[in-house]
Each structure stands twice: as C-alpha cells, then as structure tokens.
Structure 1
Amino acid sequence: MTTSFVGRDSELDEIGTALTRHRLVTLTGGGGVGKSRLALRAAERLRGRYPDGVWWVDLSNLYDDRLFTSTVCDAVDLLDHNPRAPVEALAEWLTGRQVLLVFDCCERVLDSCHDLIGELLPGAPQLSVLATSRQALGVEGEHRVEVAPLSMDAGGDGDAVRLFRERCATAAPAVSLDSPGSADVVSAICRRLEGIPLAVELACARLRESSLTEMADRLGSRLDTLVDETVWPQRHRALRTAIGWSHELCSPIERLLWARLSVFRGPVDVSDARSVCAGGPLDAHDIPGLLDRLVDQSVLQRDGTRYRMLDTLCEYGAMWLAELGEDDTLARRHAEHYATVLAEADAGWLSDQQVAWYARISASHPDVRAALDHLIETDPDAALDAAGRTGLFWPCCGHLHESRDYLERVLALDTPESPSRTRALWALGITLTLQGDHQTALRVGEECASAARQDGTAQSGLFAAHTLGLTHLMAGRPQAAYDVSDEALTAHSTSPPSGAPQLCCMVIRTFADSALGRLDEAYAAAVGLRRLSLQYGEHWARSYAFHQLAFIDLLQGRAHDAERHARAMLASKHNLNDNLGIALALDLLTGANAVQGNGVEAARTSGTGNTFWRMLGHPGRGTPELAEVRDLWELQARNAAGGDAYDKAFHDALSDDAEHGLALVLHGPQPS
C-alpha cells in the first residue's frame, strides 16, 4: 500500500452506512480500481465499532480452493489444536463475537468464499463481512458497492488529478506540473487512464523518462490500437494500456524479471529472487538493482526488506511468462528453491540462527505451500523429504491442519521406505498429538518406529521415540514416555548432539521425570538441557527447559525463581512465534503470581493465557500435570485479590487483543 490515500470520502461513508444495515458488503470493480486500499481504509475507520476485532483475510496468494479455510483461520489467529474441521472451529470461535472480517481478492476463490461466508453468517449473528471481489459473491443478503474509478472534474480538480500530482511529486519531483498548459495535459492523461488508481500510479512512475506531452501522446496512440473489447472489456482498457505501456518501457531484462517474479505467491527477498529468477541473460548479481528499478516504476512495492507485486501486475507477468514458454521451468525452480530453504532451515535449527529460520519459514509460508503442491505432482520423493522438514516449524507455529493435510498427502504417494518417510511419519505423529488425536497419533508413531527399525539410522530412531514419547506424555502415560525416550537416547545420543531429534527426546524425558514425581532428576536434566541449548544459541529446547524449571520451582516453593523462569520461557516462545508455548508459559507465570500473592497480576496473566488457549482450541490446555494445579492457582489468586478485583482484571485481559495482552505481560507487572 502507498502511504497516502486520495479521495473516496463518499465511498467510505457509503460503506460505513451499508455495514449498519447489511452484514455482508462486497466492494466490486475491475483490477487496479482501488478496492483493497478502500477496504483497508474503511476497516481502519470502522475498527471502533467491533470490540472483538477487525481481521484482514488476504486471499491474493491463493491459487486453488484447498487451502482457503486454513488461510482464513490463520488470518484470525485461530491456530486450532483440534482434529475437528477448520470450518467448525471457525464458526465456534466467531460465536458471540462482534467481529468484522475483511476478505480481500475473493475472485481468486469465489466459490469457497460464497460457501464459507454463507455458512458463517447465520451461525454467528454478530459477525459482519466486508469483501473485495471483481464480481459479487452471490450470498443471500449481500449488499454490493461498485467501486468506480477516481473522479475527474471538468475543472481539473478531481481526485484522479490529485492522485496524479501526489504520485508525481514522489516519483518524479523534478517534473513541474505548474507550467502553462500542464493542468490541461494532466487532466487529459487522467481522463485517458479513466481515473483508475493503479493506471495513474504506473503512468507517474514513467515521468522520469517522458514529458507530460509525450506521455499524453503515447497513451492516446495506444488506446487507439487496443485489442477488441470482447478480449479486454471497455472498463479495463485503460488499465491494460497503462500496464502494457509500463511493460513496454521496461528494458528487456526488467521485463524478464517481472515475468519470472510472477511465480512467487508472497513477498520475496533478494535471495529468493536470485535463486529462482536468475538464468540466461538475467545475471544473479544484477537482480538487486533490477528489483529497485521495478520499485521505481511501481511494478513492485517494498514490504520491509522484501518485495511484493500487486495481484493485477502479477497476472500480467504470468501471462508473459507463459508467452516466453518458461512457466513450467520457473515452477520447477521455485519448488526446488523452497525445498532447499526447508533443508537449510532444518540444518540451521540447532544453532543461533534458529529464531531467524522460524521467521524465514513463516514469511515464506505461501511459497512453501506452492512448492509442496508442485513437488507432490512432479517429484514424490522430493515432496516427501520437504514435507517432513516442515515438522520442526509448522506444528510449532500452529499450522496443524495444513501440516496434517500435506503430510497425509505425501505419505500416500508411491515412495520407497527411507529416512525421509520415517521423518514424515514423525512430523505427522506430533501434528496429530498436538491436535489431541492421540489414538491416531499412537498408530502413526508405531508405524514410524517400525520404519525407523527398517531404515536403521540413529536419527530415525530418535524421531520415532520423540513422536511416541510425546503422544504418551500428552495422553497421561509418563512412564511410557520416559521409557521410549530414554531407550532411544541411550542407544543413539551423541556428544555433541546429532541434531534436533536428540534434543526433542531430551525434552520428553525431562517432562516425564517431573510428571512421575522425580523432581530432582527432572530439575537437573532441565539445567543440563538449558546449558546445552545456550551453547548452540537455540531457543526451542531452552524454552522447555525453562518450563520445567518454573514448574518444579512452583512445586518446591520457589515462586520468585518460578516467575523468572516462566518469563524466560515466554520470551523464547515469543521469539519463535510459538503460541502453544506462549500459552503454557502464561499458565506458569499465573501460578508464580498467585503463589506470591499477586492476585490481580495473576488474573491478568490468566486472562491473557485463556485468550491464547481459546485461539489455539487445544483440547487439554497443555500437559496433564498443569491441569491439576490450575484450579489451585486460581483460588489462591482470587483470595489474594478479592473476587471482584480478580474478575475485573481477568475479564479485561480476556477481552483484550491477544498480542496487546502479551505485550503488557512481557513488559512486566502492571500498576493496580
């Protein structure tokens, strides 16, 4: 999005009024007319109406319907740790909430939008939906607002001219628009571009190379020679002209990069673009400068350190990629690149780059999905290997339904027994356990153990022990969890550790020790695990070491130490964006506050923790031993604070935004 927003006051008022009378309002109009930007501004203006939040659902990176519902769940931070259908979880989450969901680019998955929104609205009476689409959704009760191009007043003071002047000042500040006759030329250009915002912005980006008069003449000649309107409808002609002209004025190497970048599903960084797009006349060393050139020409937008292409321009690039005959080649390169990214993330997990890799995989989520889809169709062995490597990242960060979907698909492929297959079974087993499907998880874990015995590698043995141990632990069988993890560590552990599965098994054995009441052994193991993880700079295992230290501190009467360790766990889990771990840490912090007599603070952390548990939909709210002491902590906190003060603090935190509540907890105790 650009930083300024020109005009649209009447449209904003119309949308605001419409949402008081209709629960579904759809902004329709052609590509580039400004539907997304208008919806974003309307959502910002209306935020105060919806106490339970305004949520943006970006559908622009979807290319089929299969991932639609999980994309919606991700957008509202519903990371459901439950095997039930995502639609059911979403409907339950919305019940009783006064929420505005904004669905952007619905034309990508029109049928799915129709079905889901049509199902959600009757079941969630306080839900409102604002959608953008090139055509209406066709849902009963839908109110449609046609988004017209920007106004073009006869006197040259319309919103299209205002936008042109603002973008010109940014793109070509040396160009004067105040010389005699300039106003008429600008008005003529805006009329030729029919007031379409994207067309205006693309034209302004060309003022570095063209004068106003040259631009007007060029646009006029192009409009006169456009294709038949049955191919490109009248209302799209000006946009097609502006995109085509912008494309024509790019150098051949810039056009090639534009086309090749269309293969990406989300924002890309320089390394992504180099790996996927370089080749032939396009040298990898030239790509950073070319990316900046495309930004200058409004073909790309900067998104932090990454680059994003608007959907309409991406479609144009994809059309040219097909014309060049490179679409299959680029899809293969794209898939191979993200398979390599997953392999590098896996190799870098046990290092001080672990947090960076979690962020990298999260930022690349749409492209990792697209890569897996391509590999499933074209290279089953590579698909199996890549999907298994998501097991260190996706389940931790809440993508459980997607994890299960992809892993079940790759395991159904005709592939030989191998360490990759064992690893995929491990990833599926932990996904099922975190969803609470312990029976299926146990079956998959036993299959994983059988596969590990067959392929005979130490890593496979540790992977199998981890998934079985986790299932036993979460199902309330700590002795079985201890036995399977201890046996694997005795047989396969190395010093230094051979990789992630060894630390995973060490975590299971430590948790099992404390669940069995062997607190001194568990505490010593947690101290050792913390020391080991600090040597590598990793956070995942360290956070669970802090969990055990905090839990045992609480059981043994060291509440101040428990608070310190719980806060350390919370910081690590926040770095990893691990919402399950955040919820567990908040529970421990609640206990530490309660035992110390900080009743109001305990109520606040409990309310924030419940917000995360509700978001997760976790059936057991963590490991079984925590469930046994939560009620005691609440009673202690309520007695310390007083019932009314406890209830107020708890419900204030519970009704707060999860991230805001977490930020307050991370900042430290709040004044009473």
Structure 2
Amino acid sequence: MMTSFVGRDSELDAVGRALEEHRLVTLTGSGGIGKSRLALRAAEEVRGAYADGAWWADLSHLYDDRLFTATVSDALGLLDHNPRAPIDALSEWLAGRRVLLVLDCCERVLDACWELVTELLAAAPNLTVLATSRQPLSVRGEHCIEVAPLSTGDDEGGSDEAVRLFRERCATDVPDAPLDSPEAAETISRICRRLEGIPLAVELACARLRENSLDEIAERLTSRLDTLVDDTIWPKRHRALRTAIGWSHELCAPLERLVWARLSVFHGPVDEADARSVCAGGPLGADEIPTILERLADQSVVQRDGARFRMLDTVREYGALWRHELGEQHALAERHAAHFAGIVEQAEAGWLTDRQVAWYNRISDSHADVRAALDHLFTHDADTAVEMAGRTGLFWPCCGHLHESRDYLERALKLDTPQGPSRTRALWALGITLTLQGDHQTALRVGEQCALAAQQDGTPESVLFAAHTLGLTHLMTGNPQDAYDVSEHALSTCASTPPTGAPQLCCLVIRAFALSALGRLDEAHEKATSLRRLSHEYGEHWARSYADHQLAFINLLQGRPHEAEIHARAMLTSKHNLNDNLGIALGLDLLTGANAAQGNGVEAARTSGTGHAYWRMLGHPNRGTPELSEIRDQWEQQARKAAGDTAYDTAYHRALTDDAEHGLAHALQGHAGP
C-alpha cells in the first residue's frame, strides 16, 4: 500500500518520455528511495496510451524464482487452464495486446526477470515493461533511470520536496505537532538534509514526532546499529536510510523490536491473529501484540491495510537481520508453517458452512505465506506437507492457481510418506488440477491411482474424493455415463443423510452434470434442486453455484429462459464471490443463452463478448463440458437473428475489448435469487 507522493515532477516527465521511446524502462536505486511509488504514479499517468491497460506485478513477496512467472500471470489476470509452460501462455496472451506491464522489486528474482522480459518483448511487439530494481535487468535495449532522493533545497533556489513530504506526513499522522515557527522550519530542513531526502527515511523520522520533539529527532539521528546492515541491501552512499531505520529500531521499546524481528518471517499482509500465533513467546505475551502492532504502525514500521498490517520490503529486511541475530530463524519458520497449516485445516473444516466465501478470501489473502509454509514443511515435516497440500485442493484450483497447485502437489507426492487419507486427498487435488488444466490423460492416471489408494484407506471420504476426480475427468472428456456410474456408486456406497462433507457435495455436483449430459433432464433437475436446497441450508456457495448452473442449463433446454436467466445470475453472483473465473465464464455462457432465447439479441451479444474475455483469461477460447459447444452456436444464431449481424457484432466486440469486470457487473445487474 503506497503512502505519500510528493514532487518528482521531473522524474515523472523523464519516465513518461522514456516509455514513449523504449520498450523496457527500469527505475533503479536503493531500497526506500521511492522507486515503487514513482512507477505507480507514472503508470497511472500514461495508462491511457495502452489500449489493454497497465498491470502491476508485485514481486516483493517472492523468495525464489520458481513461481515468478505464475505471479506475473496472476497480476495480468491470466489464470491459464492449460498444462503448457506459463511463459508460453503469457507470450501468447500478450502477443496481440498493447499493455504496460509494471514489474516491482525485480531484484528479488533478477535472473528470472531477465529471461521473462527478454522472451515477452520478443513475443509481444506492443508490450512495454516498466521495472523497478536495485540493479539493472541487463536486458538488451533496456533504458535505466536512477531514482534520486527527494530534493532538500541544498542548492540556491532549489526545491524542498523532502520538507514537503515531512510536512504532509505530519499533517496526516501528527496533526498537532508544532511545525509553524521559523525555528521548526529550519530544524525540519536540517532533518531532511541529514536523511539525504530519502522518502522512507523521512517518513520514519516523521513518525517519531509522536514521542519526540523536532530538536530531539535532529540531535539523535545517529545509529549505533550500522554494523548489522549488509551493504548489498543499503549501499554506503545511502547511509542515511540505514541510519533512519536503525534509529527507529533503537528507539522502539524492546518488545516492539522483538515483534518487528518476528514479523519479518511473514511474506504478505498479516492480521492480529497471525501475529499473535506466530510472534508470541518468551517475554512477549500474545495479548500484548495488538497494542504493539498499533504502536509500530504509528511509527511507520508497519502500514495499516484495513484490518491487516503490511511491512515494506526494506523494513522487513532489517527485521530479518535482527531475527538472525536473535537466532530465531528456524523456530519462527516452524511456528509460521504450523500456523498456516492450521489456517488451511480450519479453512477446509469451514468449507461446508456460511463462512465458505470468507475462507476463500482468507486463503487468497494469505497466498504468499501458505506457499512459504509448504516450502518449509517439504524439508522439515513431510507428513504435514502432504496433508496441507491436499487441503489446498478445495481452494487453489477454484481460485485459478493451477500451475502452483500442480507444482506443490507433485512435490508433495514425491515425498516419502506412508499411504493414507492425506496422500489420497493430495492425489484427488492433483487430479482435479490436471483436469482443469486440460491434461486429461495424466488426470485419468492420477484419478485411477487415487481410486486404488482409496480402496486401501477404506474410508468414505477417500472413496468420494476418488470418485469426484475420476467423475470430473470423465465429464470433461465426453464420457458422462462413466461420470454418472462412478459418482452414483460412491454416493450409494458412502451414503449419509444429509451429506456431511465436501467430497459428498462434490460427487453430487458430478452426478447432476452427468445426468443432464445424458439427456435425463427431469432426474437432473430433481437432483440439482435437491443439491441447491442442501447447499442453501449449509450457507455454502460452491456446490450451490453448480446446482444453479444445471438448473439454468436444464431450464434453457426445456424452454423456460426466464427461469434460466435467474439461475444463471445466481450462479454468477456465487462465482464472483468466490473469485472463480472458470465458473464466471460458464455462467456467462448460460446467461447468453437465456438472453438469446428471450429475444434479447444485443444483450446476448454483450454477455457473450464478456464471457469470451473470461475464457481468454483462462487460456481457452471456449471450454466447459463438450455438450455445450453445439448449443453455444445455436444461441449465437438466435441472438444474431434477433439483433441483426451488425448490431450483434458491435455489441460483442465492444464487450470483448472492454474491462471484463465491468462487463460482469453489467451482467449481474437485476439479479434476484430464486
């Protein structure tokens, strides 16, 4: 989350001109100098020149390059449902687009950035990249702009951007501070000169005004902690930044310093519960942590982000140095991994409740830390790693993290752990992921392994998980009878009234889809209605959305387009809440059919264009179960007949090139749930 932006007019002009003349512009400079804020402001100012938008990829949470390309894909909204290499999907998606891609904190993954940017610039002639890094990417044709500190008015007639920043932050954070006297003005100038105009250093000093006077700040701007700072993080020419951070650290109370160090184990934003669970211990009680977090926020060590707290990359690095000095790296990593393994376990337990959407959001918000926890467990606790990886199967595939899901699940299943329900669940999650990627042959093989493992387990949950992954693969490969047989057998073998777990609802979804694909529409309608009622009782959205899908589809086939429209909108609402772009694409197809069947040709064209935009985000022009392909063509012909070819094409292409979220918002208007 960015804070103040002051001055930088000449730098903004320089970046704007450079982006007109060069396809790769890199803002270089040390940590805390303001590269990210300058890049963000520059992107906002020039985004109108890029027909397909400006996109921001934050790389600050990465600690290796294994998931770098997937992170960039996520930032672009490309949730590729395809087994090909992510870089190939990115190249294809960007090839015909005019895009500004901002890569922030490239020093984290410098070699990977070099490779990706080189390939993307070759594949996408209208792509422009704006990067921030502590050192150049060294890509051919790169234009570097070194970001200087804010001006401090040292030169005669010079501006005083650093002073403006200091005063602006004080007005926001310490509005009662006495800053109006000539003496105060001179002291502020002296502080800003001492800090060399480095924005982060100025902000940290300003935050001390809650507890110190201006004169005290000016007098005490020295650090006895420089020896702990690696010159590769803060070069000597920017000693003022490490002075300011070290001084802020020195002025913190002992427990505040301890929380600062321990918070550095996190890779993304944290809430109070995360901090209490991971950071408490020794002299630090859990009940003290909320107050300490607020004090650290007041001192600009962490930044408030709603109910969560973020730590700037440079400040986190300083905390990590102290964590090393304290000898707590391994202990904190263990606590961190145990905490997020517990979060994923709670999320799975809460899936079949009215907290389902909240748990999807929780797992999404904690994505970087869930990955870090798994990476730690892979080398320190194989059993927990396999268990945790399998539990992500209810969340990561739904949210589009298919490449990451496959990567982590395949690594988990290579670990030497005994057969049991945890491995079976991981096989299920991998099978689902492979099917959604379109790697059906591998998915079928994994599904068969899952079925054998389930037989060895002998538990109803394992049997149902295996039936779900096999059933989904059969559906997606045009074998609805096999899908029906495997799901019906599992449901009858493991019957419980009412269904009490996620795998049962998953199999109920497969059975309903299989029945409609087989043309047994009345049975499918009955099963989907029952499933929808059951899902509503639990308050969950995932299975309910697919029940609505089936009810929309069946009502269309049976000549009830208005009822189909209601269910399609209900499905879209649920899928939007879950951030499930595959489900949104499927729902938009059905809404297109409902509009076409009611003679709303232009609206059908618009909905179809938005749907196609979502399918392209997924890496496929059209997807879903095979029986939908021919029906889509029929819906288009109906819509063209109602609207006329010219009006249809105009509405379709406008929606296709418009912002997909805007198109979805339009499609959701007038929703009234059945």
Q: TM-score, normalised by structure 2?
A: 0.97
Partner residue, 1:330:
332
Indicate which of 495, 498, 512 corresponds to 2:497: 495
Partner residue, 1:58:
58
More deviation in 486-495 or 617-626?
Answer: 617-626
Q: Indicate if the aligned counterparts of 2:615 and 2:622 stay in contact, CA closer than 8 A.
A: no
Task: Evaluate the alpha carbon distance shift between residue 518 and residue 366 of structure 1 in structure 2; reply closer, same or farther with a 3 A threshold.
Answer: same
Matches within 5 A, 1:514-553: 514-553=516-555
CA distance in 1, matches of 2:12, 2:353: 49
Task: Evaluate the alpha carbon distance shift between residue 632 and residue 165 of structure 1 in structure 2; reply closer, same or farther with a 3 A threshold.
Answer: same
Q: Secondary structure at the match of 2:209?
A: coil
Matches within 5 A, 1:424-503: 424-503=426-505
> What's the offset of the Cα at 1:496?
2.3
> What's the offset of the Cα at 1:236?
2.1
Indicate which of 376, 380, 398 corresponds to 2:382: 380
CA distance in 2, matches of 1:410, 1:48: 45
Q: Which residue identity is paired with 1:129?
A: V
Indicate which of 366, 389, 392 corresponds to 1:390: 392
CA distance in 1, matches of 2:633, 2:2: 50
Partner residue, 2:37:
37
Q: Indicate if the aligned counterparts of 2:425 and 2:462 stay in contact, CA closer than 8 A.
A: yes
CA distance in 1, matches of 2:455, 2:502: 19
CA distance in 2, matches of 1:57, 1:458: 43
Matches within 5 A, 1:572-587: 572-587=574-589
Partner residue, 1:596:
598
CA distance in 1, matches of 2:437, 2:445: 15
Partner residue, 1:12:
12
Partner residue, 2:26:
26
> What's the offset of the Cα at 1:112?
0.4
Q: Indicate if the aligned counterparts of 2:387 and 2:422 stay in contact, CA closer than 8 A.
A: yes
CA distance in 1, matches of 2:296, 2:564: 53
CA distance in 2, matches of 1:3, 1:668: 38
Task: Evaluate the alpha carbon distance shift between residue 227 and residue 523 of structure 1 in structure 2; reply closer, same or farther with a 3 A threshold.
Answer: closer
Q: Indicate if the aligned counterparts of 2:390 and 2:426 stay in contact, CA closer than 8 A.
A: yes
Partner residue, 1:136:
136
Cα offsets for 1:530-556 (capped at 9, x unmatched): 010011000011001000100000000
Q: Which residue identity is paired with 2:660?
A: A
Partner residue, 2:637:
635
Q: Which residue identity is paired with 2:45?
A: R
CA distance in 2, matches of 1:256, 1:352: 37
Matches within 5 A, 1:158-197: 158-197=160-199
Matches within 5 A, 1:253-332: 253-332=255-334
Q: Which residue identity is paired with 1:260?
A: R
Indicate which of 362, 365, 378 corresponds to 1:363: 365
Partner residue, 1:216:
218
Q: Secondary structure at the match of 1:61?
A: coil
Runs of 4 or more, structure 1, over 6 Å off, are 223-231
Cα offsets for 1:550-585 (capped at 9, x unmatched): 000000000000000100000011111111000000
Indicate which of 226, 244, 247 corresponds to 1:245: 247
Partner residue, 1:665:
667
Aligned residues: 668
Q: Which residue identity is paired with 2:369?
A: D
Whether 2:82 is the aligned partner of 1:90: answer no
CA distance in 1, matches of 2:3, 2:246: 25
Matches within 5 A, 1:334-345: 334-345=336-347
> What's the offset of the Cα at 1:157?
4.7
Partner residue, 2:561:
559
Q: Secondary structure at the match of 1:57?
A: strand
Q: Which residue identity is paired with 1:653?
A: A
More deviation in 518-527 or 4-13?
Answer: 4-13
Q: TM-score, normalised by structure 1?
A: 0.98
Q: Secondary structure at the match of 1:181?
A: helix
Q: Secondary structure at the match of 2:586?
A: helix
Partner residue, 1:73:
73
Q: Indicate if the aligned counterparts of 1:156 and 1:187 stay in contact, CA closer than 8 A.
A: no
Q: Indicate if the aligned counterparts of 2:601 and 2:643 stay in contact, CA closer than 8 A.
A: yes
CA distance in 2, matches of 1:190, 1:647: 59
Task: Evaluate the alpha carbon distance shift between residue 442 and residue 345 of structure 1 in structure 2; reply closer, same or farther with a 3 A threshold.
Answer: same
Task: Evaluate the alpha carbon distance shift between residue 616 and residue 536 of structure 1 in structure 2; reply closer, same or farther with a 3 A threshold.
Answer: same
Q: Indicate if the aligned counterparts of 1:81 and 1:619 stay in contact, CA closer than 8 A.
A: no
> What's the offset of the Cα at 1:225?
8.2
Q: Indicate if the aligned counterparts of 2:229 and 2:242 stay in contact, CA closer than 8 A.
A: no
CA distance in 1, matches of 2:209, 2:348: 47
> What's the offset of the Cα at 1:171?
2.6
Structure 1 gaps of 5+ residues are none
Cα offsets for 1:114-165 (capped at 9, x unmatched): 1100111011000000000000000000000110000111468510111111
Q: Which residue identity is paired with 1:214?
A: E
> What's the offset of the Cα at 1:282?
1.2
Task: Evaluate the alpha carbon distance shift between residue 592 and residue 567 of structure 1 in structure 2; reply closer, same or farther with a 3 A threshold.
Answer: same
Q: Indicate if the aligned counterparts of 1:26 and 1:143 stay in contact, CA closer than 8 A.
A: yes
> What's the offset of the Cα at 1:668?
4.2
Q: Indicate if the aligned counterparts of 2:229 and 2:321 stay in contact, CA closer than 8 A.
A: no
Task: Evaluate the alpha carbon distance shift between residue 29 and residue 454 of structure 1 in structure 2; reply closer, same or farther with a 3 A threshold.
Answer: same
Whether 2:99 is the aligned partner of 1:99: answer yes
CA distance in 1, matches of 2:487, 2:269: 40
Q: Indicate if the aligned counterparts of 2:360 and 2:578 stay in contact, CA closer than 8 A.
A: yes
Cα offsets for 1:298-319 (capped at 9, x unmatched): 0011112110000000000000
Q: Which residue identity is paired with 1:10?
A: S
Q: Which residue identity is paired with 2:68?
A: F
> What's the offset of the Cα at 1:230?
6.5
Partner residue, 1:506:
508
Q: Indicate if the aligned counterparts of 1:259 and 1:317 stay in contact, CA closer than 8 A.
A: yes
Matches within 5 A, 1:597-612: 597-612=599-614
Task: Evaluate the alpha carbon distance shift between residue 662 and residue 227 of structure 1 in structure 2; reply closer, same or farther with a 3 A threshold.
Answer: closer
> What's the offset of the Cα at 1:620?
5.3
Q: Indicate if the aligned counterparts of 1:156 and 1:184 stay in contact, CA closer than 8 A.
A: no
Partner residue, 1:47:
47
CA distance in 2, matches of 1:13, 1:156: 18
Q: Which residue identity is paired with 1:348?
A: G
> What's the offset of the Cα at 1:659?
1.3
More deviation in 351-360 or 658-667?
Answer: 658-667
> What's the offset of the Cα at 1:493?
2.1
Q: Secondary structure at the match of 1:25?
A: strand
Q: Secondary structure at the match of 1:636?
A: helix
CA distance in 2, matches of 1:93, 1:202: 42
> What's the offset of the Cα at 1:233?
3.1
CA distance in 2, matches of 1:227, 1:273: 25
More deviation in 72-81 or 208-217?
Answer: 208-217
Q: Secondary structure at the match of 1:55?
A: strand
Task: Evaluate the alpha carbon distance shift between residue 640 and residue 390 of structure 1 in structure 2; reply closer, same or farther with a 3 A threshold.
Answer: same
> What's the offset of the Cα at 1:227?
8.4
Q: Indicate if the aligned counterparts of 2:81 and 2:618 stay in contact, CA closer than 8 A.
A: yes
CA distance in 1, matches of 2:487, 2:37: 53
Q: Indicate if the aligned counterparts of 1:352 and 1:537 stay in contact, CA closer than 8 A.
A: yes
Q: Indicate if the aligned counterparts of 2:228 and 2:321 stay in contact, CA closer than 8 A.
A: no
CA distance in 2, matches of 1:622, 1:225: 59
Task: Evaluate the alpha carbon distance shift between residue 298 and residue 29 of structure 1 in structure 2; reply closer, same or farther with a 3 A threshold.
Answer: same
Q: Which residue identity is paired with 2:165?
A: L
Q: Secondary structure at the match of 1:207?
A: helix
CA distance in 1, matches of 2:421, 2:391: 12
> What's the offset of the Cα at 1:619?
7.2
Q: Secondary structure at the match of 1:417?
A: coil
- Aligned-pair identity in percent equals 74
Whether 2:124 is the aligned partner of 1:110: answer no
CA distance in 2, matches of 1:528, 1:646: 37
